[in-house]
Amino acid sequence: MHIGIVGPISFADIAYLLPDASERAAKEMQGSSLLISLIDELLNLGYQVSAFTTEPGLDPNAAEFVLTRHGQFSLYQVPLRRKGFRSDRGLHGRMLDLFALERRCLLKAIQASGVDILHAHWTYEFAWAAQNSNIPVLITCHDAPWQILRLMPDLYRLGRLLMAHRVLMRAQYLSAVSPYIVEKISWMHRASMAVIPNPLPADLFTAAAAEKKEIIIGMIINNWSRLKNAAVGMTALSALKQIRPDISVHLYGPGMGQGEAAWQWAEEHDCLDSFDFFGAQPYQAIKDAIKNFTILLHPSLEESFGMTLAEAMAVGVPVVAGKNSGAVPWVVEEAGILVDVQSADEVLKALLYLLSDKEKYQYCADAGLKRARNCFSVQAVTKQYIEQYKKIAGFK
């Protein structure tokens, strides 16, 4: 079975699978680490895999796609316009035509690949292009577009909602990464839907017993926005530093580097010295960092799953996260303390509690590791996906 994975993939994260990559391969895309874990496991099981992704580093006026291949793995990169509405390299923004150029290029790449089954991630341009190929497709829903629009109301998210609505109304086979997503998008489709969580890479679990040499509170966010709620988290962490100056606070993710949004916020609030700003990092660097955390603070207001939470659980790191933040309570269960993350005082109290109660801390660490192994390991998740592929594509 030749499996096609359609979704956002960073060349930097997957370069180890393509040692003979040509100079034509572009390397700007910020991708999803969970797709790398899935691809890795499928290859380990002996399947042929082709991956399809958009890439802003490619000229949208030039090649329809760039193919890089090694062994059983092929990567197809297609151009991605950098702007949502404004002009980019002589072309109008991608949302003005609902990613028509990107979808057309993805379709060309898919048609050239010879895959038997497509697995499209997110309900937007990747799934739309996969549906247009007339190849059997499983679409994995990673978010609830209406909830995102409600929390981040703008024209771009409205466009994304329209795209998702079209995709979901045509969908035959769906999976969702949490029961929360099943509930939130039930009105948008008529297809059958399986709940299959996001996969964690196998190498994370080998770091679970890592000895903590210092007390580090980590916060990893995907962007500086109201949805990710980093300002409230930083307010609580700054207060924690006043009480426990021996603790280090490490900030990771886009907007969390020196001179970026988090840095500017800390400068305005006179607490720059409270934080170490690491910013966006490759996935391997993030995995290496998490295993040294003492606690992960995850202040997001809404998560469809929460990969960072599961990654922390896999290395025995308790979490403080939102009790009303979408799928977060389902993912975390007993692996940490759930609070109202809109309250910096509640966040601070939870952090102090975990730091002061060794029994509670160890209980959360053990519970998180057990849940991550049983439910989120790449082996367990990939097995479920393969069952779906065979059913959809008619393989035995």
Beta-carbon contacts of 180 under 8 Å, excluding residues fewer than 6 positions away, are 144, 304, 326, 327, 330
- Mark residue 13 as left, alpha or beta (left: phi above 0; alpha: psi -120 to 50; beta: remaining): alpha
User: Sorting pLDDT into bands at 50, 70 and 90, what band is 20?
Assistant: confident
pLDDT of 396 above 80: no
HSE, CB side, 13 Å, CA atoms: give it for residue 342: 6
pLDDT over 70, % of the chain: 97
**Plot region of 142 (φ>0 → left; ψ -120 to 50 → alpha; else → beta):** alpha
As beta bridge partners, residue 303 has: 326
% of the chain exceeding 90 in pLDDT: 85
Domains 2-199+378-393 and 203-376 share a fold: yes
**β-strand partners of 2:** 48
pLDDT digits (tens, 9 = 90+) for 86-109: 999 999 999 999 999 999 999 999
Q: How many CB atoms lie within 10 A of CB 209?
A: 10
- 235-271 pLDDT, tens digit per residue, is 999 999 999 999 999 999 999 999 999 999 999 999 9
**What is d(CA 384, CA 191) in angstroms, rounded to the nearest whole number?**
18
Retrieve residue 147's tokens: 């909830």
* Half-sphere exposure in the Cβ direction for 245 (13 Å, CA): 3
How many secondary structure helices (H) and strands (E) does the chain include?
16, 14
Q: 203-376, superfamily in CATH? A: Glycogen Phosphorylase B; (3.40.50.2000)
Q: Determine the residue type at 385.
A: Y
For residues 183-194, give the mean pLDDT: 93
**Residue written as token pair 């990747």:** 126
d(CA 290, CA 342): 24
How far is 174 from 347, CA to CA, in rounded Å? Answer: 36
pLDDT at site 207: 61
| Confidence check: pLDDT of 24 > 80 | no
The DSSP 8-state label assigned to residue 259 in this structure reads T
* Sign for the pseudo-dihedral over CA of 28, 32, 37, 43: negative
End-to-end CA distance of the chain: 10
Which pLDDT belongs to residue 210? 53
Instruction: Give the CA distances from residue 189 to residues 157, 181, 244, in Å, rounded to whole numbers and listed in that order.
Output: 19, 12, 50
Name the residue ranges covered by the structural domains of the chain.
2-199+378-393, 203-376
Q: 58: helix, coil or strand?
A: coil
Average of per-residue pLDDT values in the chain: 94
A 10 A CB-CB count for 393 gives 18
Regarding beta strands 216-220 and 248-252, do their DSSP bridges make them parallel or antiparallel, or are they unpaired? parallel
Q: What is the mean pLDDT of residues 192-199?
A: 94
Residues paired with residue 74 on neighbouring β-strands, in sequence order: 50, 69
Sign of CA dihedral 263, 10, 132, 134: negative
Q: Are strands 117-121 and 73-79 parallel, antiparallel or unpaired?
A: unpaired
Most confident range, picked from 8-12, 64-68, 97-101: 97-101
Give me the residues paired with residue 171 across strands: none
Bridge partner list, 73: 49, 70
Q: Are 267 and 238 in contact (CB under 8 A)?
A: no
Q: Is residue 279 classed as helix, strand or coil in its secondary structure?
A: strand
Element (H, E) at 3: strand 2-6
Instruction: Give the integer Cα–Cα distance in Å for 390 and 325.
Output: 34
Tell me the CB-side half-sphere exposure of residue 96, using CA atoms within 13 A: 11
CATH topology of domain 2-199+378-393: Rossmann fold (3.40.50)
Q: Is the pLDDT of residue 283 over 90?
A: no
Strand partners, 283: none
**Distance in angstroms (rounded) separating the CA atoms of residues 126 and 138:** 11
pLDDT for res 88: 93
Per-residue pLDDT tens digits for 339-357: 999 999 999 999 999 999 9
Burial class (CB in 10 A: 0-12, 13-18, 19+), 55: buried
